[in-house]
Amino acid sequence: MKKALVLMLLLGCGDLAAADKIPARIEAIAQMLTPTQRMKLLDLLNKGRDDSLRSLPGVGETRLAAIKQARPFNDITEVTQVPGIGEGTFIDFVKHAKAGFPKK
């Protein structure tokens, strides 16, 4: 049952938005990270220097500026509310975190 719910959320069926307008499927994707990975990504988003933020997939000057302007984030899922960062980019961020935050 739980796997079916996660699959539904990832596929966009039963899109239950949280009070802060973060789609449930974004939270389901974020849940793929360990608590340590999630905290490290949150720390990077909130405190990372320019070079560290540019190490995230798809982050160039425009997204870098947008992330810095939107700080602080209370949760990693909030980054999807930044202009230019959607579900696809968020998935790339999660994959990057799961891979141990490799440098480009």
Q: Convert the pLDDT of each residue in 25-71 to its tens digit.
A: 999 999 999 999 999 999 999 999 999 999 999 999 999 999 999 99
Among the listed residues 9, 40, 33, 29, the one whose alpha carbon sits nearest the alpha carbon of residue 89: 29
CA distance 23 to 12: 9
Whole-angstrom CA distances from 14 to 9, 17, 29, 31, 87 are 6, 9, 15, 17, 16
Q: Convert the pLDDT of each residue in 74-92 to its tens digit.
A: 999 999 999 999 999 999 9
Averaged pLDDT of the chain = 85
pTM greater than the 0.75 cutoff: yes
